[in-house]
Amino acid sequence: MLDSPFGTFVLRLGPLQEKIGEDEYLAVCQLNERLVIERNQEGDWEIQSLNGAIDSLRNAALTSAVADWAKKDGTGIGFGAFIIQPTSIARERLLKS
C-alpha cells in the first residue's frame, strides 16, 4: 500500500510474521536506522519514506507563503514557517533599512 508517491509502504509478511521475532525485528530496525519502521495491528511492517519531493514542495510553499505574508503585513520577518514580530522601535529601524 502506498499513501502517496513518497508516503508509507506496508510490507505484508504473511506467514513470515510467526517466524520473525522481536530480536529479528529490532535487528532490521537497527540496520535501517534512517527509516521509521513500525508494526501495525495486523503484524505487517509500515515503513515511512524519507523526506522526499512532496515534503520539500510543501515546505517551499509554506515558506513562501509566510515570507509573502510577513512582507505584505509589514509587522514581522518570515523565517521558514515562522514569523518574528519585532517591537515597534525595531520595526521602524527595519522599515528604514
The C-alpha cell that represents 7 in the structure block: 508516503
What is the pLDDT, as a whole number, of residue 1?
A: 37
What is the spatial distance between Cα 8 and Cα 49, in angstroms, rounded to a whole number? 6
Using alpha carbons, list the distances in angstroms from residue 17 to 5, 25, 40. 26, 10, 12
Q: Per-residue pLDDT tens for 32-66?
A: 887 888 888 888 998 886 666 667 777 788 888 88
pLDDT over 60 at 68, yes or no: yes
Average pLDDT rounded to a whole number, residues 13-27 = 90
Cell numbers for 39 = 508494526
Instruction: Please tell me the pTM assigned to this model.
Output: 0.46
